[in-house]
Every structure is written in C-alpha cells, then in structure tokens.
Amino acid sequence: MDNVIVKRGYRFNIAGRPSTTLKCLPDPEQLAALPDKIPHIKPRLHVAEGDPVRIGSVLFEDKREPRFKFLSPAGGTVRRIRFGPRRTIQAIIIERQSGQEPRVGFEALSNDALATIDRKALVARILDGGLWWVFRELPFRDLPAPENSPPLILVGLDAKEPFSPAADVYLHGREDLFAFGLKVLSKLCGGKLVVFADAADHALIARGRDWLTHTVEGAYPSDDPGAVLYSIKTQASENRAWYVAGQDLMLLAELLRDGRYPTQRVMTVGGSAAPAPGHFLTRLGTPLSHLADPSQIIQPARWIVGGMLRGHTASQEDFMGLYETALNLVPAGGQAEFLALFTPGFRKPSYSRIFLSKLNPAPLLYDCNLHGDARACIACMHCADVCPVDLLPHMVFKAIAVEEVEEYLQLGLLDCVDCGLCSYVCPSKIELSRIFGNAKASYAREQMKRSE
C-alpha cells in the first residue's frame, strides 16, 4: 500500500458532527430526481406529469449523449415537474405508490459471469441500468465517454468534507458488494485502479487491507480524487482519470450483481443547527425535510446540501440530488453581535489568528456570518497557503478577471479541485472557488462545442 501526502489543506473542527450510529428512516411519500444538479448534461424528459413510473423507468436522458439515462428512484406517479429559469428542469417529483412499488427488472450478473463478460457488454449493462453517472472524468468532472478506457480510476473512501457519510458506516456488512464493484472497475479500466483511504483511519485500513492501494495523509481536501491524482500522476494522459465515490460504487455493484436498480443510500445530517446529527439510511432523492424535521430546528438555519464547502443552499422543500449525500444545517447568522470587537471569540472559527478559538480544542460553532463585505485582494497569500494543488488562486483570479484564457490555463486552473478552501480563508471575501468553477465550466463548454 502506497502512502500519498497532500501537504496543503485545512483541518476543520466543527460542532454538529453526525453520530456514526446508522438509523433507518421510513420511506417518504415523495421522491425526486434533479436533472439540473447533474453537471454538463442537457436533459430531455421521457415523462410528463401524471405518468405512472416504476423504479428503474427512464425519467430523462442527456440530449447530447442519449445513452446517458437517468432512472426513477420510486414506483408511483409523476406528481410534478418543476422548471426553473429558461425552462431548466429542476425536479421531477414522484409520489410513491403505497405498499410494494413496481420495478423494472435488470439481468443479474454472477461473479463467474463477471469474470468472462467483455467490456462492451458490461458498459451496455451500466448504461441501460441508468448508473453511468457514478463515473466522473477529471478535470471537468463530467460523465466520461463510454468507449474510452481510462488510464486510471480513483475510488475514494474518505469523508473529509464536513460532514459526509463515513465509509465505516456505509461499508458495514456490505464489503462483498464493494469488492464486486472493484471487480467491475478492473474490467472497465485500461490502466491502474487506485483505491484510497485516510491514513489516520486505522479501522478502515484494517478492513480494506485486501483492496486498498493507497493511504492519504493530509487535511481537507486530501480525500478529493483530483488532489490525490495531482500527487500521484506520472503522465499527462492521467489528467483524464475517472473517479467513483465509494458509496456510488456500491450502487453500481447492486445494480449489476442483484439486477435491481438501487434505491437506498446512507446520508448524513450535521452542523451546529442540526437537531439530531447522524447517519441515516434512506431513499435516493429523499426530501430534505424527511432527513431533518423543520419543526425541530430551533434557530434560523441555512440548509446546505452536498457539503459545507462545496454544497449549495437549498430550501426545506428541496430534495437530495444524485451526487448529494450530506445535509448541513448551519445557523443563518446575519444578526449584529453585541460588542463583537471586544469578545475573545473562543468558539468562533477563523483561519487567521484573530480569535482565541485557535487555543480551543472543542468543536467550533460555524455560522453563515461573513463578518464584512467583499473588497479588493490584499495579497495576503492565505489562498495559496491552503490550496492542495499548489495554485496561486489570487493570480488565477486576476487572469480570469481580464479573460486571459492562456494565462489562467498556464496557472493551472484545470488542476483546481473545487474544494472551496481559498474562498473560505480569503479575508477579502472574494468568491474565488465559485469564479474558478464558472471559468472551468465555460472552458469545458467551449471544448465540447469544438468536438461536436
């Protein structure tokens, strides 16, 4: 097992860590698929309001690549299709049929059959089973072309983004499924398979002795596949490596081994305003209010889906998307603090050392207060100090501001792993990571147009 060291990053110590006891939630009445949360696709609907659907029925496909299909997580009736600005499809909401939900059947693949099936047939099963989305290709994190055999597939088991599901919880008692998933990946991969876990997670390393290839040392976001790739890549072709999240690999294994479109997943609820931080086994596309009861939240809170740093703000009427496994409830802040300048800030998080919280080992209370407005860059270099892929974010920012494409590519924009740390530490409140994400997405769109 090789060890990778990611030197830069940041260790968060946040109150509201989810307990690791797994609770099973009852099935919610409604579930949803969220097409506009899947990056780089153009959804085309296969259903209309009022249509009956089964678990595994096609809800929508990608217009550019119709083999990318997205299937229903529930059996019942399409209750509502919610559109956003410019007719973007935000949510396909399905009312679940009570009792046994109808399902589409898929062919199951035994261990022996997996050993002999060829790559093309295996790819066809994954595409038909609507789970090609589990694969993402670096650096744009879009869905890879099925015909391409990747030089490297990375499988990450860590959860350093506060607070994602812990691998120990979702793997518990299901290691056989994970091992089956790894066999699938070795059939798809043209090169190396890299399976990594946090070097400090001794229990997970003991459990994965037979299949882990790397341990990773470092603070957040050392568990990001892009950060790991940055440290281990040996040739330029590996920049187009694929990656799969550990839990998503188990969904894929369930589809192929058991011939059933998977419907359940472990999700977390955490954050200082969470009434009951924990791990929950629930349905794909579950409503946020099913994970956290709004009536139990005693202070104004922001609902952040998909991780504290990379996630997006949602409302309690929203649902969890395909790539989202964490809901954080963070006090909304916004109210002026009485004599704020004269308080020592023992529980106030801060990257710079202006509060005494640096001396406090207890979990800190994060809220949404920005403590000031955006202003010009003061060249403090905090952003460069934390960047896991050694970018100079303030320089990249300046190159993007003047639309110097060649320059920002040269400065390594494509290596950016969208971790959000530079924005978090910036005392000038510049939303660096969002600006980088937008620049990367528009560069990706340009590339796609050229190849069409």
Q: Is residue 76 helix, strand or coil?
A: strand
To ligand SF4, the closest distance from the beta carbon of 192 in angstroms equals 23
To ligand SF4, the closest distance from the beta carbon of 320 in angstroms equals 23
Q: Which is nearer to ligand SF4, 212 or 309 (CB)?
A: 309
Q: Does 433 bind ligand SF4 (CB under 6 A)?
A: yes
Q: Does 160 bind ligand SF4 (CB under 6 A)?
A: no
Q: What are phi and psi of 293, to 5 degrees?
A: -70, 115
Q: Does 354 bind ligand SF4 (CB under 6 A)?
A: no
Among the listed residues 301, 417, 439, 440, the single contact to ligand SF4 using CB under 6 A: 417
What's the CA gap between 365 and 343, in Å, rounded? 15
Among the listed residues 276, 354, 379, 448, the single contact to ligand SF4 using CB under 6 A: 379
Please identify, among the stretches 187-195, 209-217, 269-277, 415-423, the one whose residues bind ligand SF4 according to the rule CB under 6 A.
Answer: 415-423
To ligand SF4, the closest distance from the beta carbon of 374 in angstroms equals 10
Q: Does 75 bind ligand SF4 (CB under 6 A)?
A: no
Instruction: Kindly report the number of other CB atoms within 10 A of residue 27's CB atom.
Output: 16
* Closest CA relative to residue 156, chosen from 258, 6, 37: 6
Q: β-strand 76-83 against 52-53: which pairing, if any?
A: antiparallel
To ligand SF4, the closest distance from the beta carbon of 393 in angstroms equals 4
Q: What are phi and psi of 382, to 5 degrees?
A: -60, -40
Q: Is residue 444 helix, strand or coil?
A: helix
At 166, the amino acid letter reads A
How many angstroms separate the Cα of 345 from the Cα of each of 44, 272, 350?
Answer: 51, 16, 9
What's the CA gap between 176 and 96, in Å, rounded? 30
Among the listed residues 22, 58, 377, 409, the single contact to ligand SF4 using CB under 6 A: 377
Q: Does 418 bind ligand SF4 (CB under 6 A)?
A: yes
To ligand SF4, the closest distance from the beta carbon of 224 in angstroms equals 8
* Closest CA relative to residue 267, chosen from 18, 71, 26, 34: 18
To ligand SF4, the closest distance from the beta carbon of 418 in angstroms equals 5
* Closest CA relative to residue 198, chosen from 415, 9, 414: 9
To ligand SF4, the closest distance from the beta carbon of 137 in angstroms equals 17
Q: Which is nearer to ligand SF4, 307 or 388 (CB)?
A: 388
Q: Which is nearer to ligand SF4, 203 or 374 (CB)?
A: 374
To ligand SF4, the closest distance from the beta carbon of 413 in angstroms equals 8
Q: Which two tokens stand for residue 101?
A: 């939900």
Would you say the C-alpha torsion 411, 412, 414, 418 has a positive or negative sign?
negative
Q: Which is nearer to ligand SF4, 229 or 251 (CB)?
A: 229
Q: Which is nearer to ligand SF4, 151 or 420 (CB)?
A: 420
Q: Is residue 356 helix, strand or coil?
A: helix
At 268, the amino acid letter reads T
DSSP track, 300-335: -EEEEES-TTT-EEE-TT-B--TT--EEEEEE---S
What's the CA gap between 70 and 62, in Å, rounded? 8
Please identify, among the stretches 79-87, 183-191, 195-203, 429-437, the one whose residues bind ligand SF4 according to the rule CB under 6 A.
Answer: 429-437
Q: Does 394 bind ligand SF4 (CB under 6 A)?
A: yes
Q: Does 426 bind ligand SF4 (CB under 6 A)?
A: yes
Contact residues: ligand SF4, CB under 6 A? 377-383, 386-389, 391, 393-394, 397, 416-422, 425-428, 430, 432-433, 436
